[in-house]
Amino acid sequence: MTTTVQAVGLRVRTGRHVAVDGVDLSLGAGVHGLLGPNGAGKTTLIRALATVLRPHDGRLRLLGQPMDGRPDLRKVRRALGYLPQEFGYYPRFTVAEFVEYMAWLKEVPGTGRRRAVRRALERVGLADRAGSRMKSLSGGMLRRAGIAQAIVNEPELLLLDEPTVGLDPRQRLDFRALLRELGERSCVIVSTHLVEDVAAACTSVVLADAGRIVFHGTPDEIAAAGGAGDAGDSPIERGYSALIERHRAAPAVTL
Amino acid sequence: MSGIVGIELRRSSALLAGAGTAVLGAAGLYVLAFTGQTGLWDQQWNLLAAFQRIMLVVLWPLALAAGAWQAGRDRRSRIEELLGSTPAPGWRRLRPSALAAALGLTVGYLLVLAAGAPRVATAAGYPGSGWWAVTAVGVLALVAAGFLGLGVGRLLPYAYTPAVLGAGSLASLLAAIEATKIGDATKPGPALLLPFFTSTLSEFQTVGGSVSAGQAWWLAGLVAGGLVLYLATNRLVRVLAVVPPLLGLALATPLLTITAEKAFPIDPAAVTEVCTTDGGPRVCVTAAHSRTLPTVVAPSREALRLLAKLPNAPASVHEAVPGLGRPQPASEAWVDAGNLSQTDDPAELTARILAGAGTPLCTDDDESAYLDVLRARAVTAAWLYGRHPAPGPAFSAAEQNLRDKMWATLVAWPAAEQERRVAAVRTAGLTCGDQAAALGAGAGR
């Protein structure tokens, strides 16, 4: 399996705070859930992988490119899809115009750009709203438009920060199917609070707490870590609670 | 990139800026219809182009503010993080919005020209020369404002930047107009660096080629400077944005260091005479007013008939053009150019030609002398017309009373003396002499 993301001792600061503190991580194709409580450093890690934040220390390779020194960011970004936690958009643009604009910025060739836009909108179920202004969309539709712009360039590395916020149950089911499809060829990293999304769609789970990775394994392995006495309504929730509690009680593990 | 420029044209502030320019500009032209002053721009393409440049005093700050507003779009939309993860360099991403702003403002400015075009096409006899250069420089000025706004808006990405920039530039431009009034009017150099003209042109003037060329260099420098500031991705490039305006200024300065006469010279083609050829007494107007000739002929010939009672009476009527320096021959009656468009009443036009016994108004800046001369000319016209007051506008009771007394004094003299005095007014007028003194009928001289 080709390694898309490789981090060794990665430290990332947000202001004076070290939000990601010595992360070791190696991810290839597949859907990887990034789980953790608030303040765990999930968004900061995603932002560093999206090349928006520069690492403060450690080594990071994205798509085979080292990110230290003077990296060829343009090459990496061309193969990157990113949905930030706070998704900004131009409210006067139509959905199709916005996705086309983002495709142009991602240097999708002009000849196939319109086709790529159409396909991205179909994949997120927004083809019928292609002509609607962005400002007229509901919260769930906006999130789907955000996913459409993230996948319009068929990225090798797709970073989705809280992508299911605002989606109704049916849309979440469709989204999980889309994730599984995308994960067949790309490295998809999904940061979320929703443990059941991870259980349903992810091939691996990265559990973060206080800027560190405390667990990296399959959803079944997380579920197996929990017991009847741990907090949660499902095996994976109980496993999640157990792993966080164990980490807080003992030094972090490096995986 | 054309598809993206199309999106920016539709969705950015470019469309609004262009529409605002067109609507405000067209309103600026036609609001003058309420006061009957459309003659300031509808008599020639040159005048329309120059009047549009005057309106830049309002349109320029608006374009500046619109540019700054556009530059703040990414901040307002909170999209900077997403854009920061894309491979396109910042300058490449911003090019379509700059191009859209330029296109929007250009089309808006040209639409103002189009809005005035039907009226000019029907009212103007002589098209004027070089109006396209005046318009092109106007477009450049507006695009410069848009680009400077984009650049400053990106440099100072605050919510209040557009408002401060728009209001501040308007105040600065109005202050600059006041400053030009204090300066030496014969040397307009610094005023020519302003994006707009500070006064209207006459129908006989044109904008000198060196003025348009100099302004084009200076404004192109501002366009380039604004664009560099907008597209700059680091501090060094932002500092270098001052280079194009400085270069433009250096190239423009020699071209704009000229006298007012050379900056706005008389257009020889506009002052060429167009005359009747029907065998009757000759009536001539300038090419600039050639469309008025058919309506001027009859009142002019009536004036010649009435002037015939004087010795050495004139045999033709000609439109007088100020500033040409040509002496008036005794065989010609001259009428001030402004009188041709002042009235539609043939009798009043005849009376206006008879003012000063067929000579143009010629006074110094002394206001009391000016009023005396006007009264003497009006009384002369009345004497020649054979009726006091002669057809024309009404005056205040006090002013009419003064004129009545002068009239009474004149007609109290013997007929030969009356004729001698009126002839003296004409003689004085031929050499720009004191016509009030020549009449001497109570004007205090």
Q: Is the dihedral of CA B396, B402, B404, B410 positive or negative?
A: negative
Residue of B nearest to A133 (CA): B11
- Chain B CB within 8 Å of residue A143 CB: no
Highest mean pLDDT among A2-11, A71-80, B218-227, B304-313: B218-227
| Greatest extent of chain B over all pairs of C-alpha atoms, in Å | 100
- pLDDT tens digits along B48-68: 999 999 999 999 999 999 999
Q: Which amino acid is at B135?
A: T
Cα A59–chain centre separation:
20
Chain B interface, best mutation among A92, A94, A108, A157, by max B CB count within 10 A: A92
Q: Is the dihedral of CA B272, B275, B277, B280 positive or negative?
A: negative
- Residue pair A208/A42 in contact by the 8 Å Cβ criterion: yes
> Under the phi-then-psi rule, with left for phi > 0, alpha for psi from -120 to 50, and beta for the rest, what region is A215?
beta
Is the model more confident about B200 or about B376?
B376
Nearest CB neighbour to B11, from listed A47, A77, A93: A93
The confidence score (pLDDT) of residue A246 equals 87
The confidence score (pLDDT) of residue B177 equals 85
Q: How many CB atoms are closer than 10 A to CB B283?
A: 26
DSSP B136: H
Residues on chain A touching B233 (C-beta within 8 angstroms): none
Does residue A254 carry a pLDDT above 50? no
The confidence score (pLDDT) of residue B50 equals 92
Chain A interface, best mutation among B70, B76, B83, B85, by max A CB count within 10 A: B85
- pLDDT tens digits along A129-188: 999 999 999 988 999 999 999 999 999 999 999 888 878 888 888 889 889 999 999 999
The confidence score (pLDDT) of residue B109 equals 97
The arithmetic mean of pLDDT across residues B268-276, rounded, is 91
Number of residues that this document lists for chain B: 445
Nearest CB neighbour to A74, from listed B3, B74, B87: B87
The arithmetic mean of pLDDT across residues B282-304, rounded, is 92
Q: Is the dihedral of CA B400, B401, B406, B411 positive or negative?
A: positive
Helix (H, G, I), strand (E, B) or coil at B347: helix
- pLDDT tens digits along A202-212: 999 999 998 99
DSSP string, A104-129: HHTT--HHHHHHHHHHHHHHTT-GGG
- pLDDT tens digits along B136-171: 999 999 999 999 999 999 999 999 999 999 999 999
Cα B208–chain centre separation:
14
Our CA dihedral for A205, A210, A214, A217, rounded to 10 degrees, sits at 0
Distance CA A11, CA A212 (A): 9
**Inter-chain touch A105–B83, beta carbons under 8 Å:** yes
pLDDT band (50, 70, 90) for residue A255:
very low
Residues on chain A touching B73 (C-beta within 8 angstroms): 90
* Whole-number average pLDDT of chain B: 90
pLDDT band (50, 70, 90) for residue B182:
confident
- Residue pair A87/A160 in contact by the 8 Å Cβ criterion: no
DSSP lists the bridge partners of residue B316 as B332
Does residue B368 carry a pLDDT above 70? no
Structure tokens at A161: 């920060």
Q: What percent of chain B has pLDDT over 90?
A: 63
- Residue pair A24/A10 in contact by the 8 Å Cβ criterion: yes
Q: Which amino acid is at A171?
A: Q
| Exposed / middle / buried, residue A65 (Cβ in 10 Å: 0-12, 13-18, 19+) | middle
pLDDT band (50, 70, 90) for residue B122:
confident
**Inter-chain touch B85–A86, beta carbons under 8 Å:** no
Nearest to A99 by CA among A63, A130, A58: A130
| Exposed / middle / buried, residue B68 (Cβ in 10 Å: 0-12, 13-18, 19+) | buried
The confidence score (pLDDT) of residue A198 equals 83
Model ipTM?
0.92
- Chain B CB within 8 Å of residue A97 CB: yes
- Chain B CB within 8 Å of residue A11 CB: no
Does residue B70 carry a pLDDT above 90? yes
Does residue B388 carry a pLDDT above 50? yes
Does residue A79 carry a pLDDT above 90? yes
The arithmetic mean of pLDDT across residues A25-50, rounded, is 93
Nearest to B318 by CA among B331, B335, B306, B298: B335
Nearest to B167 by CA among B58, B70, B23: B58
* Whole-number average pLDDT of chain A: 91
The confidence score (pLDDT) of residue A142 equals 93
Chain A interface, best mutation among B70, B79, B86, B99, by max A CB count within 10 A: B86
Q: What is the end-to-end Cα distance of chain A in Å, rounded?
A: 18
DSSP B294: H
**Inter-chain touch B85–A80, beta carbons under 8 Å:** yes
Residue of B nearest to A113 (CA): B3
Structure tokens at A208: 């973060």
Distance CA A126, CA A222 (A): 34
Q: Which helix (H) or strand (E) holds A59?
A: strand A57-62
Cα angle B202, B205, B207 (rounded to 5 degrees) comes to: 120
Distance CA A151, CA A84 (A): 13
Which phi and psi (to 5°) does residue B319 adopt? Answer: -75, 130
Structure tokens at A209: 């707490």
Cα A213–chain centre separation:
15
Sheet holding A187-191, edge to edge: A80-83, A157-161, A187-191, A30-35, A204-209, A212-217
Nearest to A184 by CA among A170, A198, A201: A201
The confidence score (pLDDT) of residue A109 equals 92
The confidence score (pLDDT) of residue A1 equals 59
Nearest CB neighbour to B82, from listed A74, A88, A110: A88
The confidence score (pLDDT) of residue A92 equals 95
- pLDDT tens digits along A106-127: 999 988 999 999 999 999 999 9
The arithmetic mean of pLDDT across residues B227-233, rounded, is 95
The arithmetic mean of pLDDT across residues A76-105, rounded, is 96
Nearest to B106 by CA among B130, B78, B142, B58: B142
pTM score of the predicted model: 0.85
- Chain A CB within 8 Å of residue B82 CB: yes
Does residue B445 carry a pLDDT above 60? no
Nearest to A93 by CA among A141, A136, A127, A148: A136
Distance CA A64, CA A50 (A): 14
Helix (H, G, I), strand (E, B) or coil at A45: helix
Q: How many CB atoms are closer than 10 A to CB B117?
A: 13
Distance CA A129, CA A132 (A): 5
- Residue pair B105/B21 in contact by the 8 Å Cβ criterion: yes
Nearest CB neighbour to A106, from listed B10, B80, B86: B86
Residue of B nearest to A109 (CA): B1
The arithmetic mean of pLDDT across residues B175-204, rounded, is 80
Q: Is the peptide bond before B389 cis (omega within 30 degrees of 0)?
A: yes
- pLDDT tens digits along B234-245: 999 999 999 999
